[in-house]
């Protein structure tokens, strides 16, 4: 009997731990209609830079968020171009950068751009020509040092491409002035689509606690069985 209860308790604990972290049910609009599915929480570490070999003083990379960074006039000792597009998930870094530019701008994108020589030594991007594709035409470009000193750089913007000369800064930031209502760059929780007179709102459905409750029930049952086993053992020893 004791072995049976131990086995049963172990099975319940394993089942409870095996439950995935369920978040919600979501609907995604597709070209041919809607598709539904469960949403699960998952941690993904996304801090890897992109890199490309330097060929004849030129190199280009495409970041995970779709920006195409092309650099020309790269010094001869540099053999690799490295670009890290600092994502919004790096909230501490983004907040620090916004503070450095006086909080008057919303950051569209932020990049750490540098080179490395054959020994892996870091070479700052200074005096080279950089173009970034997939930016807004009203974007303003800043260079930022690790000490927090910022400088607005002269740039040419055309057809979603911004071109500028690097000044040796540690970071390069694309930003837009904050609108008077303070809502520039902030997305709404739901996206309204008013095509053909129809108001279609795509929003994530949250609050489904059915699978969470299953995990709670498993845990409660396991706790009750464990308590009974302890009491049974104590009584058995007394007898």
Minimum mean pLDDT range among 1-5, 60-64, 75-79, 182-186: 182-186
DSSP letter at 55 equals: B
**Residue keyed to tokens 């992109």:** 50
* Distance from C-alpha of 164 to C-alpha of 70, rounded to nearest angstrom: 11
Packing angle of the helix pair 2-18, 210-238 (nearest 10 deg): 160
* Distance from C-alpha of 152 to C-alpha of 156, rounded to nearest angstrom: 13
* Distance from C-alpha of 194 to C-alpha of 6, rounded to nearest angstrom: 59
Inform me whether the pLDDT recorded for 150 exceeds 80.
Answer: yes
* Distance from C-alpha of 142 to C-alpha of 109, rounded to nearest angstrom: 11
* Distance from C-alpha of 167 to C-alpha of 151, rounded to nearest angstrom: 9
Instruction: Please provide residue 148's backbone torsions phi and psi, each rounded to the nearest 5 degrees.
Output: 95, 5
* Distance from C-alpha of 5 to C-alpha of 174, rounded to nearest angstrom: 62
Inform me whether the pLDDT recorded for 47 exceeds 70.
Answer: no
Split at pLDDT 50, 70, 90, the class of 6 is low
């Amino acid at each position: 009997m004791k072995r049976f209860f131990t086995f049963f308790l172990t099975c319940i604990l394993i089942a409870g731990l095996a439950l995935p972290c369920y978040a919600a049910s979501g609907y995604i609009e597709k070209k041919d209609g809607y598709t539904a599915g469960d949403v699960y929480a998952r941690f993904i570490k996304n801090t890897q830079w992109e890199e490309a070999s330097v060929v004849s003083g030129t190199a280009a990379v495409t970041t995970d968020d779709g920006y195409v960074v092309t650099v020309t006039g790269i010094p001869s000792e540099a053999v690799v171009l490295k670009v890290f597009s600092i994502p919004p998930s790096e909230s501490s870094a983004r907040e620090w950068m916004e503070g450095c530019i006086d909080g008057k701008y919303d950051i569209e994108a932020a990049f750490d751009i540098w080179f490395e020589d054959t020994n892996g030594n870091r070479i700052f991007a200074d005096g080279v020509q950089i173009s970034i594709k997939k930016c807004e035409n009203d974007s303003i470009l800043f260079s930022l040092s690790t000490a927090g000193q910022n400088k607005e750089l002269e740039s040419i913007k055309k057809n979603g491409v911004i071109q500028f000369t690097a000044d040796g800064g540690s970071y390069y930031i694309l930003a837009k002035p904050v609108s008077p209502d303070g809502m520039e760059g902030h997305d709404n929780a739901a996206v309204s689509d008013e095509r053909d007179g129809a108001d279609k709102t795509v929003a994530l459905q949250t609050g489904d606690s059915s699978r969470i409750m299953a995990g709670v029930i498993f845990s409660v049952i396991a706790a009750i069985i464990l308590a009974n086993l302890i009491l049974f053992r104590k009584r058995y020893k007394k007898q």
